[in-house]
Amino acid sequence: MTRRRVAITGLGVVAPCGIGVDAYWQGLLSTVVEGERRVPDFDPVPYFDNPKEARRTDRFAQFALAAAAMALEHAGELEANPARTGVLLGTGVGGLLTLEEQILVYYNKDPRRVSPFLVPMMMANAGAAAISMRYGFKGPCETTVTACAAGTHAIGNAARAIMDGRCDVVLAGGTEASMTPVALQGFNNMTATSRSGISRPFDRERDGFMMAEAGAVLVLEDLEHARARGAAVLAEVLGSASTADAYHITAPSPGGGGAVACMELALQDAGLRPEDIRHINAHGTSTPLNDAAEAQALAKVFGLPGPIVTSTKGVTGHALGAAGAIEAMAVVLSMAHRLVPPTANTTAVDPELPAIDLVVGEARPWEPGPSLSNSFGFGGHNGTLVIGPAPEC
């Protein structure tokens, strides 16, 4: 069977730098961002039938429902067979906020006061399940939990479901709201987070990531299905790949070997060569080891200086399981606006790193072409998406 092409026809996002596509894009153009990366002024109630329903949904699933509603509105009149419409989301930890709150209730108040909604609120698949139930989508409804690569893997798997003919439409992305006191302290104690409170990817002063929360959903659609309904095609998923470092629970493999294999497999899946790639949204967490391994991997695959590179985590922070989704969306918006956002807060690129073509200072104009979005997670999970501009015909 001929492999079907996958169009991106809708975007929805809840992020620290903006809620909604336009606000998110403007936020990505920031050059200096400091402090916590929580989503400000988020009101979940408009996305639910009533306030009680919203209270019985963990924040990470609230983000998912809000992003899905925005993405479906953005996609226009979407008439699709419910049995051939899926929901694939990624998350790192699911409803950690609810779990932490209810543990305190158990120990500090009365075990009988633990919420009967604890389990459905904390389970990692709650976001995907909520979307499928809200809209009646009866195709595959799955949750990918591969740490910081989860959003990227979910989108890649969703595209595969369309390419292989299982689905006509899939809502795909990632969601995360795990900035709880215990989680934050755990990351601090393992020295993964920035002591200075600044995410500065690839900078010589980088000292860790800034943890974030976010949710993003993309509407993926069989290209012919999208054309038949007159949809505006925003971009195309050309390919993807997933590999494992098989090395360490938190550190990347030295030299970025797993990342190299992942990018090469993604290029092969897309039928492209390294010289075809024009832009890379790097994982770029601002940790010393990750940025070094990724820069080395980019140099091995693409040579130097290679394609235009940016890390949007300088603005967004690191949203764990949602990171790959908001970054794939950044690639699509970069194509629409013909601008690559700068790597915020990065002023002096580490001279010890390979000299990749990192965008710093201000956004850079470009001629959109095939691009990568990279995600590399704890546990050695690697994910790469290949995204191309909307086809001309």
Residue 199 contacts residue 209 (beta carbons within 8 Å): yes
CA 282-283-284 angle, to 5 degrees, is: 85
Q: How far is Cα 44 from Cα 36, in angstroms, rounded to an integer?
A: 20
Q: What are phi and psi of 193, to 5 degrees?
A: -95, 160
Structure tokens at 356: 């990749």
Q: How far is Cα 144 from Cα 124, in angstroms, rounded to an integer?
A: 9
Q: What are phi and psi of 376, to 5 degrees?
A: -130, 115
User: Which residues have CB under 8 Å from 123's CB, separation 6+?
Assistant: 94, 95
Q: Which residue in 225, 279, 283, 381 is the catalytic one?
A: 283
Please indicate whether residue 283 is annotated as part of the active site: yes
Q: Which residue in 141, 148, 167, 262 is the catalytic one?
A: 148
Tell whether the torsion through CA atoms of 6, 27, 267 and 265 is positive or negative: negative
Q: How far is Cα 105 from Cα 180, in angstroms, rounded to an integer?
A: 15
Spell out where the chain has E strands. 6-15, 18-19, 85-90, 141-144, 169-176, 214-222, 235-244, 279-281, 308-310, 339-340, 357-358, 364-365, 371-377, 381-389
Q: How far is Cα 232 from Cα 209, in angstroms, rounded to an integer?
A: 36
Q: What are phi and psi of 244, to 5 degrees?
A: -125, 140
Nearest-CA neighbor of 93 among 321, 287, 326?
321
Nearest-CA neighbor of 381 among 210, 153, 51?
153
Q: Which residue in 153, 225, 318, 381 is the catalytic one?
A: 318
Peptide bond before residue 305 is cis, with ω within 30 degrees of 0: yes
Q: How far is Cα 200 from Cα 171, in angstroms, rounded to an integer?
A: 31
Structure tokens at 140: 């595959």
Work out whether strand 357-358 and strand 308-310 pair parallel, antiparallel, or are unpaired.
Answer: parallel
Burial of 247: CB neighbours in 10 Å, binned 0-12, 13-18, 19+: middle
Catalytic site positions: 148, 283, 318
